[in-house]
């Protein structure tokens, strides 16, 4: 038995030595050890912050944000609060371990292709659960999102009691520059009346008492005509569990200064309406723009359509307000 064990050990060593020599003769590179990877997970949020410091002290020194499901390389994990990671685009920073599903990637993971909405005659319409469409909460406001042709447009509509305030973000990850023109963005009332609700220029609002411009008395919800995946008695929050196409929250940094509320009167009054308004810009590839537009209000409006032209497409968002009985 002892002699057999020695023979097996000797044979194994000889095999390894022969394999190594053969690899050297053939110029083969040694097999690199597998690199630890992790998948970004987002419990109840739409993106994860990556900071420049491991302690993540406040105020956060953000390097950027990571999308849900994104694969990252773990550079070091000291079993502390955060791990040092490298993202696919080359950025590196620290992410809290609660947002990482740690593990070894033993085989190449195919690149996930972003879902895209399908245009019909140059129009892409938001529909719950459809490819390229998403909905989520940001600063207590429901956001509808559409991605198509490398562009992502996100909107949130509020009733201030005086005007309708539409928060709009556009991200350009396509090829070339995209013209963003607030003057061609439209809001139409579909029910109970069919009519256009015209936009109000920020300069005009700036000469009025601006505190009411930023109040949010009611948030628009997706129109029932665009929601078929949820039961009739489902709530807007339960509908958010159907996120087949999760998108980054591009509106979040812009909603914060425009989140006025009657309880925050002084704060809302101090916001410069012209500063938060959506601007006319030529949006280069890889850039994001966002801002607010204000439209005429109809207290009886139930169904509305907010249309945002961008690139060669028109992004159509069906929205509704529940009328109080």
Question: Residue 15: what pLDDT?
Answer: 42
Residues of the chain with pLDDT under 70: 1-35, 43-46, 58-60, 78-79, 103-114, 207-214, 228-245, 254-271, 323-325
Domains and CATH numbers, the chain: 36-104 (2.30.30.40), 123-320 (no CATH)
Could you write out the three-class secondary structure of the chain? CHHHHHHHHHHHHHHHHHHHHHHHHHCCCCCCCCCEEEEECCCCCCEEEEECCCCCCCCCCEEEEEECCCEEEEEECCCCCEEEEECCCCCEEEEEHHHEEEEECCCCCCCCCCCCCCCECCEEECCCCCCCEEEEEECCEEEEEEEECCEEEEEEEEECCCCEEEEEEEEECCCCCEEECHHHCEEEEEECCCEEECEECHHHHHCCCHHHHHCCCEECEECHHHCCCCCCCCCHHHHCCCCCCCCCCCCHHHHHHHCCCHHHHHHHHCCCHHHHECCCEEECCCCEEEEEEEECCCCCCCEEEEEEEECCEEEEEEEECCCCC
Question: Residue 103: what pLDDT?
Answer: 63
């Amino acid at each position: 038995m002892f002699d057999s064990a020695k023979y097996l050990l000797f044979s194994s060593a000889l095999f390894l030595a022969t394999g190594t020599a053969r690899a050297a003769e053939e110029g083969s590179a040694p097999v690199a050890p597998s690199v630890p990877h992790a998948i970004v997970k987002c419990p109840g949020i739409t993106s994860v912050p990556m900071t420049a410091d491991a302690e993540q002290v406040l105020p956060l020194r953000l390097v950027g944000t990571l999308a849900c499901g994104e694969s990252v390389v773990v550079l070091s994990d000291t079993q502390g609060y955060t791990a040092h990671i490298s993202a696919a685009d080359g950025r590196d920073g620290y992410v809290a371990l609660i947002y990482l599903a740690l593990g070894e990637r033993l085989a190449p993971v195919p690149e996930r292709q972003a879902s895209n909405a399908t245009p019909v005659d140059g129009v892409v319409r938001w529909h719950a659960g459809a490819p390229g469409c998403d909905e989520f909460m940001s600063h207590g406001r429901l956001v509808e999102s559409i991605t198509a042709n490398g562009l992502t447009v996100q909107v949130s509509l509020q009733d201030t009691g005086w005007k309708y305030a539409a928060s709009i973000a556009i991200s350009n990850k396509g090829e070339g520059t995209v013209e963003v023109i607030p003057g061609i963005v439209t809001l139409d009332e579909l029910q109970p009346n069919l009519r256009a609700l015209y936009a109000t220029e920020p300069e005009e609002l700036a000469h009025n008492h601006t505190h009411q411009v930023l109040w949010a008395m009611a948030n628009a919800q997706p129109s029932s005509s665009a929601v078929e995946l949820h039961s009739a008695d489902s709530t807007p929050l339960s509908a958010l569990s159907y996120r087949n196409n999760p998108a980054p929250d591009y509106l979040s940094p812009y909603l914060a200064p425009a989140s006025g509320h009657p309880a925050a009167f002084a704060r809302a009054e101090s916001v410069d309406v012209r500063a938060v308004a959506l601007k006319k810009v030529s949006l280069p590839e890889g850039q994001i723009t966002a801002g607010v537009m204000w439209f005429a209000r109809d207290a009886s409006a139930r169904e509305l359509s907010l249309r945002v032209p961008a690139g060669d497409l028109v992004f159509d968002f069906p929205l509704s307000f529940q009328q109080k009985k």
